[in-house]
Structure 1
Amino acid sequence: MAKEIAFQMMDTHAGGDVSRIVTGGIDPLPGKTVRAQMEYLRDDADGLRRLLLEEPYGIPEMSVDLIVPATDPQAEWGYIIMEVMGYPIYSGSNTICTATALLEAGLIPKREGVQRFKLEAPAGLVQIEARIKNGVVEAITCEGLPSYIHTHRAKINVPTLGEVTYSVAYSGGFYALVDARELGFSLDKSEEKRLARCAYSIVEAIQASRGFSHYTLGDVGPLPFLHFMGPEEKVAEGFYRSRSATYVHPGVICRSTTGTGTSARMALMQYEGRLNPGDRLETVSLRETGFIGTFTGLGKEEGHAVVENTITGKGYVLARSDIVINCNDPMTRCEGLLPILTSSHPE
């Protein structure tokens, strides 16, 4: 059996959230769609996700995006998202990073000005708009998933916290939305560890009390996300700004506000009558980075008001590298990894 393995990777970040883009060294995955390939990794070959998000190669705060050939002829490439909580079908920050990496790696040739193309996520086709100036990717705008409010201002008793009021939105995953001030937070970076502990308690309590079902996807598993909402400031007509923090269960406060967190927030603002089509919301993280969400349209699905939206942010390349994995290293787990790697060679 091969003792040492290598594959190619580009590290990127958007808003502070690091996405590790795997660009080579992986065997073709079984499955007729990117969604089916994601399900194969989730169910039968979880080794790559665990390897790159655990010591000694990574930390749980990172994400991994595996580039795969698109199965839909409209898309340039496909990508599979991996996080500490598992395999989300969509992520705004990961999409921004993946699109940036594909352009910077030359897998999609750059064109000056506004460049449009599609990618295939496990959630389906995603429209991308890249703004390129002097050969530099200045910004990526990607479609957010249609988002809606599932639960509005429910209450739950949380050990150590007491009664907590929360809403639940779907925006690519189910999000609990809570008012940061009601829980004693101003959303300063010094609060990061306390925010993580607070969110952990709330999510554990919600998961223990109830589940959530999407109107077409059905049961998508336990609620994995929580979004802390700061006060909203009206910056200009139709343009709002709010400090925010997104939590991923178990235990991670994201560096960015996240694209799906921003989409969930827009869904709540629309539901409460505070956001109209054409309006924009900038969410600002604990590290003063931001994403801008745009409310592009309103639909109706199965009795839900569904907010169509886009997310705009900037991705940065941090490193290009070959990752070398030695399966004799006692800190390295190769189980569930070898079947999908092509670039293995004897030690």
Structure 2
Amino acid sequence: MKPELTIQLMDTHAGGDVSRIVTGGIDPLPGDTVRAQMEYLRDDADGLRRLLLEEPYGIPEMSVDLLVPATDPRAAAGYIIMEVMGYPIYSGSNTICTATAVLEAGIVPKREGKQSFMLESPAGLVQIEATVRDGVVEAITCEGLPSYIHSYRESIDVPGLGTITYSVAYSGGFYALVDARQLGFELTLDEERRLAQTAHAIVEAIQAERGFSHYTLGDVGPLPFLHFMGPVEEVAEGFYRSRSATYVHPGVICRSTTGTGTSARLALMNYEGSISPGDRLETVSLRETGFIGEFSDVQQEGDYQVVKNHITGRGYVIARSDIVVNCDDPMVECDALHHVLSSRRTE
């Protein structure tokens, strides 16, 4: 490869979670769907994810969203989500950021007021509604994945913590849902490190004891996420609010409450009979940012009540840049990039 390569980026955040949108510099990927292209990156070309989430270019708390041409003609663009734990098929915060980026990059021209378009994620087509005022993208509403409660109020003994009661939801990944109060948390910023340590211990204990299977997808791997739930208060008719914190990786509590975490909460509230179609829940993070989830419908799928929902948040552009990848740099592993940068190789 040439000693220097460039990758075009637009850095964004939604609720504090930074999503690094790759807008150019990557070769076309094999695969007749975005899901197949994601699987190619995951199985054969993981170098791009590692490059942009590890030193010297990134940190584990970030996410990367690679823009690709949509394979479905109904979608304006496709995107592949990359995080420190791998390749999730869907993410609310990443979708909000990607939708903001395609508008700001002109891939979808902005129109004043509300406008709708589709993106193609590895999970399939996602309907987007954007609100634009005076040329500014003020809100993005996207579909959350159909969510359901897999297990309700199970107990597990966790070393150093004792017996923990938890429920498990699927909302794009399996989530352990834990009442923060049972562990003495108020869900404030000063608790962040202890929340991460506590969540790690609980997730490790659950992974060691049991696995989970999706009713149509089958085995999707070990439970990766934990969502701490604060008390739910009704602040207006049909509008609820709850402090929340989502753990995604050892040492990492998301800066936002996450879209999939919010979807998981809606599934639990439906399961407990405390929410009705049309009701909304605002989840509030340690940094006082929030997403709003709307419970739109529920249907029975076998043994499960599956909740359809929408997530609303705002994405912000924080940087536009070219990453200069210097293959002479001993901290950069260019050999792991040749699958996606093959056109840059010297003759």
- State the TM-score bracket (shorter-chain normalisation): over 0.9
1:196-345 residue pairs with structure 2 within 5 A? 196-341=196-341, 344=344
Tell me the amino acid that sits aligned with residue 132 of structure 1.
V
Aligned to 2:47: 47
Structure 1 runs, 4 residues or longer, greater than 3 Å off: 342-346
Q: CA deviation at 1:343?
A: 6.9
In structure 1, what is the Cα distance between the partners aligned to 2:309 and 2:253? 24
Please name the residue that 1:24 is paired with.
24
* Residue pair 1:25, 1:342 contacting (<8 A) in 2 also: no
Counterpart code for 1:237: E
- 8 A contact 1:325–1:332 mirrored in 2: yes
Deviation at 1:209, TM superposition (A): 0.8
The AA in structure 2 aligned to 1:210 is R
What residue is the counterpart of 2:141 in the other structure? Answer: 141
C-alpha separation in 1, matches of 2:338 and 2:10: 21
- In structure 1, what residue type is equivalent to 2:22? V
Q: Which runs of 5+ in 2 are unaligned?
A: none
Written as runs of structure 1 = structure 2, the 5 A alignment for 1:137-176 is 137-176=137-176
CA distance in 2, matches of 1:341, 1:322: 15
- 1:224-260 CA-to-partner distances (Å, cap 9, x unmatched) read 1100000111100100000000000233100000000
Structure-2 residue corresponding to 1:90: 90
Partner SS for 1:207: helix
Instruction: Verify the 8 A CA contact 2:197 2:250 in the aligned structure 1.
Output: no
1:304-347 per-position Cα deviation (integer Å, ceiling 9, x unaligned): 1001000000000000000011122111222321220267477x
Q: Which blocks of at least 5 consecutive residues in structure 1 are unaligned?
A: none
CA–CA separation in structure 2 for the residues paired with 1:196 and 1:116: 37
Distance 2:316 2:300 in 1: 36
CA contact (8 A) 1:3 1:345 kept: no
CA distance in 2, matches of 1:334, 1:205: 37
Using structure 1 for the length normalisation, give the TM-score: 0.98
Whether the 8 Å CA contact 1:6–1:343 is kept in 2: the answer is no
Q: Give the alignment of 1:173-192 within 5 angstroms.
A: 173-192=173-192
Using the alignment, how far apart are the partners of 2:61 and 2:342 within structure 1? Answer: 27
**Matched residues, number:** 346
Aligned counterpart, 2:8? 8
SS at match of 2:336: coil
| Deviations, residues 254-291 of structure 1 (Å, cap 9, x unaligned) | 00000000000110011011111000000000000000
**Which amino acid in structure 2 is aligned with residue 264 of structure 1?**
A
User: Normalising to structure 2: TM-score of the pair?
Assistant: 0.98
Q: CA distance change for structure 1 residues 343 and 62 in 2, over 3 Å: closer, same or farther?
A: farther
Question: Is the partner of 2:169 in helix, strand or coil?
Answer: strand
Matched letter for residue 182 of structure 1: Q
Tell me, in whole angstroms, the C-alpha distance in 1 between the residues paired with 2:256 and 2:211.
26
What SS is found at the alignment partner of 1:336?
helix
> What is the match of residue 111 of structure 1?
111
- Answer yes or no: is the 8 Å Cα contact 2:193–2:251 preserved in 1: no
Cα distance in 2 between the residues matched to 1:148 and 1:344: 45
Whether contact under 8 Å (2:187, 2:230) holds in the other structure is yes
Q: Which residue of 2 aligns with 1:38?
A: 38
Cα distance in 1 for residues equivalent to 2:22 and 2:330: 23
Residue 107 of structure 1 and its aligned partner are, at CA, apart by 1.0
